[in-house]
Amino acid sequence: MLPTADEAMRELELAGELNPGPWVKHSVNVGIAARKIAEKISSLDPEKAYIVGLLHDIGRRVGIVDIPTHICEGYRYCMEKGWDEAARICMTHSYLRMQEEFDSEPDNEREKMIREYILHCKADDYDRLIQLCDSLAVDYGFVILEKRFVDVTRRYGIMEGYIKGWETAFAIKESFEKEMGCSVYDVLPDIGRTTLLTPKPWKPGNK
């Protein structure tokens, strides 16, 4: 079950009023990227791709929170609404390597809940699509993977697990490109211009 695209957009706007930030435009761009890629792949539904892309970070509606919190809040919120297909993406979008990311038992309840979910989940094409688009979409448009990875590393520092995820992201990109018959970058509007922009990192309180 999913909301309509209009309902999903209204949810995102409402969440943006509760917790303003670049994550809202990033979410819109994840939706657009997912739809553009899905339009080139006959087994994917572009409308579903757009909706789950819009809602993947909806857990950020509760405020400025860490990764596990926005994931659990997004999952809980979408399940309460009955949108199980969007709830699933809230859970899977940050874990490109899925089960491999959870080799040890976490010590907090939220991460335990996520681990339990991921250990029993086999990634499908929508999971992989939003994992990829999360790395292609920024608030000001679309960028190549290499740029996004460096931006995130500059902000959060080097994390070994994150770097391992780069390989997975490139593998996902290549597998979709085989089905598309073109580059992922060919379908992302204006990526040649936006990928060369380097805006200052956003800080809470900035517009």
Torsion over CA: 94, 92, 109, 163 (sign): negative
Cα dihedral 187, 188, 189, 192 in deg (nearest 10): -110
Q: Which is nearer to Fe ion, 42 or 199 (CB)?
A: 199
Helix 67-81, helix 84-92: angle, nearest 10: 170
- Identify residues 153-172 at the interface with Fe ion (CB under 5 A): none
- Identify residues 113-142 at the interface with Fe ion (CB under 5 A): 134
Distance CA 74, CA 60 (A): 7
Q: What is the tally of helices (H) and strands (E) in the chain?
A: 10, 2
Contact region with Fe ion (CB under 5 A), list: 36-44, 52-60, 121-129, 186-194: 52-60
Rounded least distance, CB 73 to Fe ion, Å = 13
Residue found under tokens 């996520």: 114
Q: Which is nearer to Fe ion, 73 or 134 (CB)?
A: 134
Close Cβ partners of 166 (under 8 Å, ≥ 6 residues apart):
145, 149
Rounded least distance, CB 102 to Fe ion, Å = 20
Residue found under tokens 């608030």: 139
Among 2, 24, 54, 57, binds Fe ion (CB under 5 A): 57
What is the amino acid identity at position 69?
Answer: T
Q: Which is nearer to Fe ion, 127 or 134 (CB)?
A: 134
Rounded least distance, CB 133 to Fe ion, Å = 8
Contact region with Fe ion (CB under 5 A), list: 54-62, 102-110, 115-123, 125-133: 54-62
User: How many residues sit in the footprint of Fe ion (CB under 5 A)?
Assistant: 2
Q: Please give the residue ranges that form the binding site for Fe ion (CB under 5 A).
A: 57, 134
